[in-house]
Structure 1
């Protein structure tokens, strides 16, 4: 195998090879030309094929018949993103969201009763959190589950149309059991959002009494996923249907929880479900790799216009404008890949342990997962569009794959957390590891917390960070024309930008009072979002730097080193206005950055095909006529 692919495959190389070989089978063909119902049927058939391999067991606990390989399970979802993204999403709903909620929010009784059937796809299910009127604001969902001590049941109700569960994968056609998030009410008191197991269909496929199911209908993409809407008309479920790891109700209606605070309990529950965001980021990265592979291959064969005195037309990838469309995006894709790999390893370490959870590292993981999900899915959207444009009119034909990728990935920016909201969460929670918990997300509490924490910022000591610190410590601190390619200079510039932005946010939010807190935070949102973004940019650069550092093959290391330069300098170029406004770049140095990006594009142009081939996308998923031999 190519050494570049070896570097990309990393710790789970063997699993990656196995899954690529598996999905290259004709059974996992693309859905080009299929109608909605045909597509849904094909995806369900493919889902059963996946279940038969036993691979969905990867992330589940060994005690329930799983393999206990959480990182491997994330990798498997990531690689499904190389093919039909409807299959990836439906698999994610069944085994990631539905099965993950039963595992992580339930207790032994739920595990013993449901997990094997979920893993084997004998029990198709769905994850019913989002409501028509409440998406990101999960804490204020309006579906209720009211305990009736006389019958020892919960009564699940949808008070109005705004409280219906919306966009729920597996609900419109195939799901039989739903994990429903609702406000738990017992003894006349609300105890916050909890998760309940609610049957929505019987074994014949008919809706259960009191459950109303609607089909969301055709979407812009992902039409192999049967998204639906659910409403509950006083549906009764047994007391044991409450997933009670973090909160339970006794037969007499008494509520008990190992976590006293309702707010802290809520965020702890949501934190356990972080795997979904990590999986979405990885799948978006896979789709981006597929699009870039098609666009680069096409760019190497498509010819336009003549050089004076030459007979053959010029290959379009030899034009600087074309290189600028694709090569900085390719560098960023590599950077995000290494950041994702680091995130998956951290998640695997934290959630595979049997001891007490390290809450500081868990908060850091949640923040990083939110930020990378946002940045990776935004990058997918922009890069797939650039790849489509780079293929001209041919790229608009469905047979050439790119339109389907564009449609299917578009929603990634708003599911598993709206990206704008996630980036605010990154900024708000950047340093929650240095404060035990904050339970109240009121504007004043948020403003004061963020201000206090930003001013005492301590950069977390990840393995990648230690590599960067060593490079910075050994750096010459140069300021000459060659400094642009000095890794220490690049890392310090990213670090300095983050510290400056965070300091500015803190100064603004310190002015918060009970009277002006909401308006002040609202007026600072652009600043808050920038703080989250530059924080993630630093983390991504550090992950890339660490990947280059551990590369052992000299030729591969040199190539990755130049690609890392392109990622860093293209990022600086895109934010030149900030660097100029804040005196971090002179006008001459700013112009030099642009020239350096051009220079790197020309230098990397001969390696473009090698760089995309290293993604090892199965040829079945590159069967676009525009690149056919």
Structure 2
């Protein structure tokens, strides 16, 4: 397959829509490889200013007065390329454009008294940050201790950190010389009463240093994702009334508090609306690094030769000829296509809806894409030998981003457990009911069979979870104890749900391909991940009577045959993932990777 052929274009359409193609000329003007080359030899303290210089550089070239959140056809392609060029910049960029500006648009809608703040953020004169998580409460945003006490005499709010457990951690706001504006979640107190959790606009530092009453203490960050982490606390910081992102709440001149939401608990849950921006952004960025990790590793495996023992010391051959490498790397391609399809499904022109089912699908896909990203970046690194461990080849950078998002926006495990909880309650959920054809009538390479098998696992695990929860409640157990012994089952059910969502996407997307050859190749490459997961659970499927012993026994051989069928298409499949190799800058992405690694000159062999 060559770029421009109908098969190549059809495969590429699985991971990118028309808006990506339309944005490419603009991206290519912004992301010149020399300006966005991977930083080499810089200490962390030198990396931090570079991150914000690059953020300002991109802002200056966007030349738009419209928030990027309202330009989704530009925002998501932009985020993809930022993730590939500089994962640390990706983190800073989405916090600035999506969560900081997003909070003002979300909770300050139809107000004009924050236009100056939005203008400063849009220009890059100040960089946004989100300060939700507190040091003493891990990833829980439900137990925020930071207080914003309303002063009726001045109509200001006094922002205070009551103790070390309430210190905000880990916002990346420690870089000196960079003005910062934060969105801070705090418990609103009016006339001595807790009114729930709200967001506040808080100037954190200017070019000279922290603002009065703001204490910023630099902290070490993870070497695989260098960011200027800090702990932040507040000592009586006074905020004007307009900096309260009050949503539907108000405080009258006489101090009377009113809110359309009936109680503080309901109000506190509203602050979590911001997390959906994190889920969308994470899905796009993680899918991008998954695609890059798979494509770089597959290209290198075609150029890396070995005289290994199993080759019988014959002529050197590329490592991609080895079946174990194919299973690993073609499996990485499979995961990359699935991640791309999943990200495309949640990053369309319109935001994902707010029904319980739509939100659950969004965060479930974020969780499964993160798992795919961690798996593929690790597999690509391992399959590339010592060169995979070389930082220039980007596997470690991309793995770092995946590790970071395993925790950001709620951890992957917590997201799965939340999904299981809502499904067990039946919130906007009906278990799948697809019928599985009889063994003699089914082909394990058929997407309809993958849908039926994964749907059956989801349905039966859901049925078992609901039954066990009901029995535990009938026995009089407290709700914590009802769930505490069933977290493993709940997580298994949510993971089964995630796999079924991927199977649904594959069938829908590949059915829509007009090119028959592309349809066949696409289904084959997607089958490696889906059948691999089914094979890993073959004991369960056997016990449930959903697979025959012959089918379970045949799965490893079937996966090998699919690899054999895919081998001629592997480079085309890698390139159809639309990875801008010059921007990624990995030397091993090129056939003459040894020359790409070194600047030394050598005599002409002639």
Pairwise same-fold verdict (TM > 0.5): yes
1:295-444 alignment to 2 at 5 Å?
295-305=297-307, 311-345=314-348, 348-350=349-351, 359-360=354-355, 363-430=356-423
Aligned to 1:65: none
| 2:457 pairs with one of 483, 488, 497 | 497
Deviation at 1:568, TM superposition (A): 2.4
The CA distance in 1 between the partners of 2:362 and 2:312, in whole Å, is 54
Deviations 1:364-402 (A, max 9, x none): 232122111111112211211111110111211223322
Aligned to 1:508: 468
Distance 1:350 1:105, change over 3 A: same
| 2:199 pairs with one of 195, 198, 206 | 195
2:54 maps to 1:52 = no
Q: CA contact under 8 A between 2:448 and 2:507: conserved in structure 1?
A: no
Q: CA contact under 8 A between 1:103 and 1:111: conserved in structure 2?
A: no
Aligned to 2:17: 10
Deviations 1:111-159 (A, max 9, x none): 4232222122122221110111123321211111111112211111111
SS of 1:136's equivalent? Answer: coil
The CA distance in 2 between the partners of 1:255 and 1:172, in whole Å, is 38
Deviations 1:300-349 (A, max 9, x none): 1112236778852221111111111111221122112112211222xx43
In structure 2, runs of 5+ residues without a counterpart are 593-606
Q: CA contact under 8 A between 1:302 and 1:315: conserved in structure 2?
A: yes
| 1:596 pairs with one of 550, 558, 576 | 558
SS of 1:199's equivalent? Answer: strand
Distance 1:88 1:57, change over 3 A: farther
Distance 1:308 1:253, change over 3 A: closer
SS of 1:167's equivalent? Answer: coil
The CA distance in 2 between the partners of 1:423 and 1:489, in whole Å, is 24
Q: CA contact under 8 A between 1:93 and 1:170: conserved in structure 2?
A: no
Deviation at 1:566, TM superposition (A): 2.3
The CA distance in 1 between the partners of 2:443 and 2:63, in whole Å, is 48
Aligned to 2:272: 270
Q: CA contact under 8 A between 1:105 and 1:244: conserved in structure 2?
A: yes
Greater Cα offset, 5-14 or 385-394 = 5-14
The CA distance in 1 between the partners of 2:381 and 2:99, in whole Å, is 32
Distance 1:57 1:168, change over 3 A: farther
The CA distance in 2 between the partners of 1:220 and 1:280, in whole Å, is 20
The CA distance in 2 between the partners of 1:55 and 1:259, in whole Å, is 39
Aligned to 1:122: 125
Distance 1:559 1:425, change over 3 A: same
Distance 1:17 1:359, change over 3 A: closer
The CA distance in 1 between the partners of 2:328 and 2:306, in whole Å, is 16
Q: CA contact under 8 A between 1:56 and 1:73: conserved in structure 2?
A: no
The alignment of Structure 1 onto Structure 2 pairs a total of residues equal to 578
Aligned to 2:598: none
The CA distance in 1 between the partners of 2:26 and 2:338, in whole Å, is 23
Aligned to 1:485: 445
SS of 2:546's equivalent? Answer: coil
Q: CA contact under 8 A between 1:177 and 1:201: conserved in structure 2?
A: yes
Deviation at 1:59, TM superposition (A): 4.7
The CA distance in 2 between the partners of 1:145 and 1:459, in whole Å, is 44
Aligned to 1:435: none
Q: CA contact under 8 A between 1:58 and 1:70: conserved in structure 2?
A: no
1:461-476 alignment to 2 at 5 Å?
none
| 1:166 pairs with one of 165, 169, 172 | 169
Aligned to 2:34: 26
2:240 maps to 1:234 = no
Q: CA contact under 8 A between 1:277 and 1:373: conserved in structure 2?
A: yes
Aligned to 1:182: 186
Deviation at 1:626, TM superposition (A): 3.5
SS of 2:307's equivalent? Answer: strand
The CA distance in 1 between the partners of 2:35 and 2:303, in whole Å, is 30
Aligned to 1:36: 44
The CA distance in 2 between the partners of 1:210 and 1:228, in whole Å, is 16
The CA distance in 2 between the partners of 1:309 and 1:160, in whole Å, is 67
